[in-house]
Structure 1
Amino acid sequence: MSETGPPDDVPGLATRWVLARVRGPSMSPTLKDGDRLLVARARPGSPPRPGDVVLARFPARPELLVVKRVVRPVPGGHWVQGDNPSVADDSRAYGVAVVVGRVLLRVRPRPGWLPAAPQ
């Protein structure tokens, strides 16, 4: 594991800020397919908290970049899940995730901060 970022076999983000586009229904109702998000690269020493919406990769599928909500820290990373319980393309399918960025806000189509996790 790199001392300043994700494990060496999991690519981090190349730049400090990234625009990401949501694909699919896994974060519904919080985020919808096509929403654009402003993401800040994850910083060492500033781990995400449960409830944060993040950009993450799974060591089992490092090519897959996902937008999910942090459930809890686990050895080797974080357990992440989508807000839509019927879609399981998250830690339930791929295991531990490595957070590479934190979603700050939705840019389009409805600019604003993200709401808390649905109950």
Structure 2
Amino acid sequence: MPRSLVPRPRLVRVNGRSMEPTLHEGDLLVTLWGARVRAGDVAVVRLPDDSDGRPRPLSVKRVSGPDPDAGERWWLDSDNPREGVTSFEVGSITDADVVGVVVGRLHPRPRWLRGRHTPDRS
């Protein structure tokens, strides 16, 4: 997906437990579609198709940093080590697979997220 000259705000609702304790099922997030991602950001990403070739839904993941074997690609993690798909299962992704960057949570506990790289303890 080509990057827009100006990132566009979008609201995204969390579905699943892979980002706990930072984010929880039902949290409403403010994202910037088309924003440039940085290591440590939480982002909305497009994961590779599943083993049957079916597209996966968009996911919220931690972009932990560049792929150690392919620096132009991003490595993804979940904040919850017991849940979720990560780059250990599907490999790294390209810039084009980063749809948007999460900048904050609106509901239920408002908080800014961009640039913060530690889990929420509230």
The normalised TM-score by structure 1 is: 0.75
For the residues of structure 2 that align with 1:23 and 1:88, how far apart are their CA atoms?
11
Q: CA deviation at 1:21?
A: 0.7
For the residues of structure 1 that align with 2:84 and 2:12, how far apart are their CA atoms?
20
For the residues of structure 1 that align with 2:106 and 2:10, how far apart are their CA atoms?
11
Structure 1 residue 58 and structure 2 residue 12: aligned? no
**1:81-104 CA distance string (max 9 Å, x none):** 110011141222222232110001
Cα pair 2:62 2:77 within 8 Å, conserved = yes
Q: Percent identity?
A: 41
Cross-structure match for 1:10: none
**1:22-72 CA distance string (max 9 Å, x none):** 1111000000111000110124xx3x2211110001233544201111111
Cα pair 2:28 2:107 within 8 Å, conserved = yes
Structure 1 residue 27 and structure 2 residue 23: aligned? no
Q: CA deviation at 1:112?
A: 1.2
Structure 1 residue 116 and structure 2 residue 117: aligned? yes
- CA-based RMSD of the aligned residues comes to 2.1
The 5-angstrom pairing of residues 62-73 of structure 1 reads 62-73=55-66
